Structure 1
Amino acid sequence: MSHRCLIGVPMGDPAGIGPEIVVKSIADPQTYQYGCVVVTGDQKILENACHFSNIKLTFNIIENLQQIIDKPGVLNLIQCGKINYDTFKNGMIEGQCGQAAFDYIKTITDLALAKKLDAIATTPINKESLKAGKINYIGHTEILADLTGTKDPLTMFQVKDLRVFFLTRHLSLVNAIQSLTPERVCDYAQRCHEALIKLGIENPRMTVAGINPHCGEHGLFGHEDDDILLPGIEMARKKGINITGPKPADSVFHFALGGGYDAVLSPYHDQGHIATKMVDFHRTISITNGMPILRTSVDHGTANDIAGKGIANPISLIEAIRLAALYAPNFKS
């Protein structure tokens, strides 16, 4: 096993498409080329996903990682979480699904923290099921931050060679802009720089996307770019960070995709999300930096409306596993 990247994958919400994309990913020959995958989840639900997806896999139920069978077509599973199969139904919001999804994440995270896994690649969980199960987190990032003792994880999206960081996450546009300060811009520039180096990118070249049209045209369309972003960028440059900007958001992502920059720092949520997902929705992967473990993730939801129908696309999970394997050696160094 020493020459093979070992990647942990929690099954996700049992009632969503997580089980389906897990079995489809394990069955895909590409996944085996990237590394060896171990899953935390429920055997019966995964077997049912194989059935309605017309997938054939051999299940290897293990209690420790020494029992892994590293062969194509084998799903190495650590059974955990509790599901009442009498009430369970695909596509339904249930507290037991939220609790089980949390158990899968905790089990895989504990293994990663113990350095028994090289990385984890997570599948979708459902916020409503978490709430119904009295799991008091709003999502994966918050769960992982708590489990790993990380104060403020740093989210990066990657699609092809386009990498995007976010100055703010789930805030209204007004609140996101109001929360920005030059000091925050400088702090994030430093953190993004360090994250890129940890991922193996030497002397990262970064830029910042503007907030207003044409970066405000020196006050004609707003002052935030000149009053907040530019001073923060200049502060970061004085600290030795290779960063430019702000650059007009209607073009900067295009130039970054073409190799002009190693990463773009986006001031608010939808700006960077739209830019990456328009390149390739299914291959846009979230990478959580700043934690003691490497985590990649699909960037889509549980899709309860199609759960159990065998039509879910596994490309995002396959890509998340690929990037986990790609970055794991650098992350450890």
Structure 2
Amino acid sequence: MSESSHSVSRQYDIAITMGDPAGIGPEIICRAVAAMSPSARAGTLLVGDPAIFRRAVQTIDAKLNFAPLDAPNAPAGSVAVAVVEAAGNVMIPDGEISAGAGDMAFRCIATAVELVQSGRAGVIVTAPLNKAALHAAGHYYDGHTGMLAALTGAPSSFMLLASEHLSTLHVSTHVSLREAIDRVTPERIIATVEAGHEHLVSLGMANPRIAVAGLNPHCGEGGIFGDEDTRCIVPAVEALKARGFDVSGPISADTVFYRASQGEFDLVVAQYHDQGHIPVKLIAFDTTVNVSLGLPIRRTSVDHGTAFDIAWQGRADATNMGAAIAYAHRLVAGTHEPRRGRGA
């Protein structure tokens, strides 16, 4: 697309990528879009194969019409689709890992990035992909976040899991536990807190309260159980405090998430994947949204997988996709809704 065509072409609030077409992505997208108001639907762009979306509509017994992006004389009320089809008309089996599905999922993301960078869409919302299918297609990324960092040229990125009751941002995510320990450095912790603070401020929160979880049991007990907390986390927190951040830590991981869920903190910085994922998914499994920070574009996602075992059976629940879309609209609007504690 040329810059002149962008100036006269329609802009969309969100662009929703299809994800792995062998999984539940198309179904949950269509359920969520069918539940939208007409105005919200008009601001939504899908990225994928219209034929697959039409099949998903039939599978869930919904009523939606689709039209290719910028198609002349598109039917009123139709949902725009930036068309991405399977390369070489390869057949993609339902509910199975395949290179064709992985390649299609990758190209949907690449197309969405181009749309946002060109100003055609505001925020990307991603349906789930399968990492094994992605790798089978020759796209060697650890998931959406790493892929988006590579496609946008970002030096690093951060995974935020956001929910109404508890939100966590991770110092590291898809690496081994041994490597995750090595990534607990003052520089990385400071960068993580900065990214979280910037994000919450962008949503209208004036002075976010951020807690940094300890790495070792009881934050190392003064070095008895490891020295990473005193050697790496304490200097990072002190440096951030000196710059005016409302940050606390290190706080033992066996208490900090409970305290945050009760409203004491707005965000917890977790040191590795499971430390942050387990408490958030325990509290808000269906409504937690995955948000990528540190990128030059904005992206939200469902926080579940492709669910191959129930794909294309009309059984997939779109609650999490609805939450991801709602968070994306908050990013578009730049608004923040106060998070409630579990007792509220």
Fold match, TM over 0.5? yes
- Asked if 1:270 corresponds to 2:277, the answer is no
Matched pairs, number: 325
Between the aligned partners of 1:86 and 1:235, the Cα distance in structure 2 is 54
**Correspondence for 2:201:** 197
Cα drift, residue 117 of structure 1: 1.3
Equivalent residue for 2:85, pick from 81, 89, 104:
81
Between the aligned partners of 2:32 and 2:280, the Cα distance in structure 1 is 22
**Correspondence for 1:288:** 292
Q: Secondary structure at the match of 1:165?
A: strand
Cα drift, residue 237 of structure 1: 1.3
1:121–1:296 Cα contact (<8 Å) kept: yes
- Normalised to the residue count of structure 2, the TM-score between the two structures is 0.86
What is the one-letter code of the residue matched to 2:30? V
Cα drift, residue 303 of structure 1: 1.2
**Correspondence for 1:132:** 136
Q: Secondary structure at the match of 1:145?
A: helix
Equivalent residue for 1:182, pick from 186, 192, 211:
186
Equivalent residue for 1:13, pick from 13, 20, 43:
20
Between the aligned partners of 2:90 and 2:224, the Cα distance in structure 1 is 63
**Correspondence for 2:339:** none
1:40–1:77 Cα contact (<8 Å) kept: yes
- Asked if 1:207 corresponds to 2:211, the answer is yes
- Asked if 1:45 corresponds to 2:49, the answer is no
- Asked if 1:98 corresponds to 2:102, the answer is yes
- Asked if 1:109 corresponds to 2:91, the answer is no
**Correspondence for 2:237:** 233
Q: Compared with structure 1, are the counterparts of its residues 14 and 83 closer, same or farther at alpha carbon in structure 2 (3 Å cutoff)?
A: farther
- Asked if 1:320 corresponds to 2:330, the answer is no
What is the one-letter code of the residue matched to 1:23? C
Q: Secondary structure at the match of 1:14?
A: coil
Cα drift, residue 270 of structure 1: 0.2
Gaps of 5+ in 1: none
What is the one-letter code of the residue matched to 1:211? L
2:234–2:250 Cα contact (<8 Å) kept: yes
Between the aligned partners of 2:76 and 2:105, the Cα distance in structure 1 is 25
What is the one-letter code of the residue matched to 1:104? C
After superposition, the CA RMSD in angstroms is 2.4
Cα drift, residue 155 of structure 1: 1.5
Between the aligned partners of 1:68 and 1:155, the Cα distance in structure 2 is 37
1:34–1:321 Cα contact (<8 Å) kept: no
Between the aligned partners of 1:5 and 1:200, the Cα distance in structure 2 is 22
- Asked if 1:147 corresponds to 2:151, the answer is yes
2:12–2:45 Cα contact (<8 Å) kept: no
Cα drift, residue 10 of structure 1: 0.8
What is the one-letter code of the residue matched to 1:286? N
Between the aligned partners of 2:124 and 2:75, the Cα distance in structure 1 is 18
**Correspondence for 1:302:** 306
Equivalent residue for 1:243, pick from 242, 247, 250:
247
What is the one-letter code of the residue matched to 1:19? P
Cα drift, residue 34 of structure 1: 8.5
2:162–2:291 Cα contact (<8 Å) kept: yes
Shifted more, 274-283 versus 193-202: the winner is 193-202
Kindly report structure 1 stretches of 4+ aligned residues shifted beyond 6 Å.
Answer: 66-70
Cα drift, residue 319 of structure 1: 0.4
Between the aligned partners of 1:170 and 1:275, the Cα distance in structure 2 is 17
Q: Compared with structure 1, are the counterparts of its residues 87 and 32 closer, same or farther at alpha carbon in structure 2 (3 Å cutoff)?
A: same
Q: Secondary structure at the match of 1:98?
A: helix
Gaps of 5+ in 2: 1-10, 336-344
What is the one-letter code of the residue matched to 2:332? A
What is the one-letter code of the residue matched to 2:216? N
After superposition, the C-alpha distances for 1:133-187 in whole angstroms (9 at most, x for unaligned) are 2223232112211222211012211011422111111222232123322333233
Between the aligned partners of 1:202 and 1:57, the Cα distance in structure 2 is 41
